[in-house]
Chains A and B, each alone.
Chain A
């Protein structure tokens, strides 16, 4: 796991402490990747139906699977709140759903474990469909009911995009670990 607990700060020499502080931006890499993919979703493509995969959600799920310590529910909440603000949805819809999705991924990880790529894909698909199914009721709770049938376009697109997103996350994680030999890989 990348987020290994740091050594006690008082026991570090000055140089060690400085090196640790300068290396700590790596803790924010999963959140930054998710935000970058969220911005990618805002591409001004002339799409008439919502076929753009939900890259922000996929990134949160992938990081919650690869690095649960770096994508806790409160970070997912922040990413979701940003998604709400950028898409113009009522604040709290994606925030709640992303936080719930991250904690569900964490629970599933603990209960059923990891069984290879296809199994992870299936788990992520189930969680993703659950999130999409809950979006409608939450929008209605926020006072803006929307028809959910057009979102059926997004589900297969997101399903197809999962391997790409999880591969991107894995590549970033490999680079991160290679750039910092002191960080353990697990």
Chain B
């Protein structure tokens, strides 16, 4: 025989090679799964919301427990420091108090006038309502996104898209809310857009974050009014999440491509933050299409038509008021 037999692999070598093959296949599958998840996140950003709240529900209370003794120590040290220089600080505060009292007397008169005028004009305004006051439990400070976690969640009445406000100004808004935790999108995150006005001129715009300590004022509406360094930026109340008049920051650099704002409240330096109800509540997600007398054909529903509202299934629909109710609900088509 002039052919040589193929050398037989030893069983240990075969095992090694098989294991290497299997591990290579698993690695490839895992990486492909990751890319698929990315595409899924692109199509539907809400995909991972429920798993995310499960993870934050564990992480946020853990950090809440860890930081409690540290906060206690900080308060103790601050308390000791307060004893020194108390007299000079008291004097400075007294002079400030006098000034503030004078201004308060003025503004009381103005406030009364304002109330009278609003009553005359029949202005109706939503009220700000604090849901919970808490500390920031954890924050992603080493990531491409700027988020923070609060150790309060839906159990305390927090829900999505609620403003989070610190003592000196705006901090962010809630993004994903779990049972015991909520993820806050800080105003410095690249995804954050806060509708603001410039207090001096009243011009509206957006304060956009960019993963940097400062914000950028973009999309200013109306004529190009010149800004000044030191102009205060406050929320406008547009968009319905942030209440109007909350300080956002101060213009520190006037640039043509986008004035730079320093946040009034460094988002992670806030001691306590409050979570408030959204300024204007989101409209109910219930179906608000036209009323139908008969069921919509099955074919229409299988092709993506919304679930129809049947006149017979509407609550409180009686024959007498039916025409007016239906007329009010049907959106006029131009």
- A interface residue numbers (CB < 8 A to B): 39, 41-55, 72-74, 77, 80-82, 84-93, 95-96, 99-100, 103, 135-136, 138-139, 141-148, 150-151, 154, 157
Q: Which residue on B lies nearest to A42, using beta carbons?
A: B138
Does B251 sit within 8 A of A, measured CB to CB? no
Contact of A52 among B56, B141, B210 (CB under 8 A): B141
Closest to B185 in A: A88
Interfacial chain B residues near A93, Cβ < 8 Å: 38
Q: Does B191 contact A (CB under 8 A)?
A: yes
- Residues of B contacting A77 in the complex (Cβ-Cβ under 8 angstroms): 30-31, 33-34
**Beyond A41-B143, A90-B41, A96-B37, 12 additional pairs, beta carbon < 8 A:** A44-B63, A73-B27, A88-B140, A88-B145, A89-B144, A91-B41, A91-B48, A91-B51, A95-B37, A96-B34, A147-B190, A150-B210
- A85:B52 contact, CB within 8 angstroms: yes
Kindly provide the distance from the CB of A47 to the nearest chain B CB, expressed in whole angstroms: 4
> Would you list the 10 A-B pairs with minimal beta carbon distance, nearest first?
A52-B142, A96-B34, A92-B37, A90-B41, A91-B48, A88-B147, A48-B213, A42-B138, A143-B42, A85-B55
> Does B96 lie at the interface of the complex (its beta carbon under 8 Å from any beta carbon of A)?
no
If A53-B142, A89-B145, A99-B34 touch, does A147 touch B55 (CB 8 Å cutoff)? no
Shortest Cβ distance from residue A65 to the other chain B in the assembled complex, whole angstroms: 16
Interface centre among B67, B142, B145, B266 (most CB of A within 10 A): B142
Min distance, Cβ B152 to any Cβ of chain A, angstroms: 14
- Does chain A have a CB within 8 A of B194? no
Q: Which residue of B lies closest to A38 (CB)?
A: B59
Contact of B40 with A by CB under 8 A: yes
Q: How close is A109's CB to chain B, nearest CB, in angstroms?
A: 13
Sample (12) of A-B pairs whose CB atoms are under 8 Å apart = A41-B140, A42-B149, A44-B136, A48-B268, A50-B146, A86-B59, A87-B143, A88-B175, A95-B34, A141-B38, A142-B42, A145-B190
Contact A141 B30 (CB under 8 A): no
User: Is there a chain A Cβ closer than 8 Å to B79's Cβ?
Assistant: no
Query: A144 vs B191: C-alpha distance in the bound complex, in angstroms?
Result: 7
Contacts of A139 in B (CB 8 A): 144
Contact of A146 among B51, B185, B190, B213 (CB under 8 A): B190
**B26 at the binding interface (Cβ < 8 Å):** yes
With both beta carbons as reference points, the residue of chain A lying nearest to B183 in the complex is identified as: A88
Contact A72–B23 (Cβ < 8 Å):
yes
* Most central of A49, A88, A91 by chain B CB within 10 Å: A88
**Which of B33, B55, B210 is close to A86, meaning CB atoms less than 8 Å apart?**
B55
- Known interface pairs A89-B144, A135-B144, A138-B38. Does A103 touch B27 (Cβ–Cβ under 8 Å)? yes
* CA A86 to CA B58, docked complex, whole Å: 10
Which residues of B have CB within 8 Å of A154?
142
* Cα A178 to Cα B139 with chains together (Å): 36
A93 to B34, CA, bound (A): 7
| B67–chain A nearest beta-carbon distance, Å | 6
Contacts of A45 on B, CB cut-off 8 Å? 139, 141, 268
Which single residue of chain A is at the shortest CB-CB distance from B67? A44
CA distance A92 to B175 in the complex (A): 18
* Complex-state Cα separation, A119 to B119, whole angstroms: 76
- Chain B, Cβ-Cβ closest to A46: B269
Inter-subunit contact A44/B38 (CB<8 Å)? no
| Cross-interface CB contact of A41 among B142, B148, B183, cutoff 8 Å | B142
Cross-chain contact A99 with B27 (CB below 8 angstroms): yes
Q: Provided the pairs A86-B59, A90-B41, A141-B38 are in contact, do residues A147 and B211 lie with their beta carbons within 8 angstroms?
A: yes
- A46 pairs with B140, CB closer than 8 A: no
> Is B176 among interface residues, defined by CB-CB distance under 8 A?
yes
Note all chain A residues with C-beta closer than 8 A to B140: 41-42, 86-88
Does B256 reach chain A (CB closer than 8 Å)?
no
User: Which residue of the partner chain, among B23, B39, B47, B141, contacts A50 with CB atoms under 8 Å?
Assistant: B141
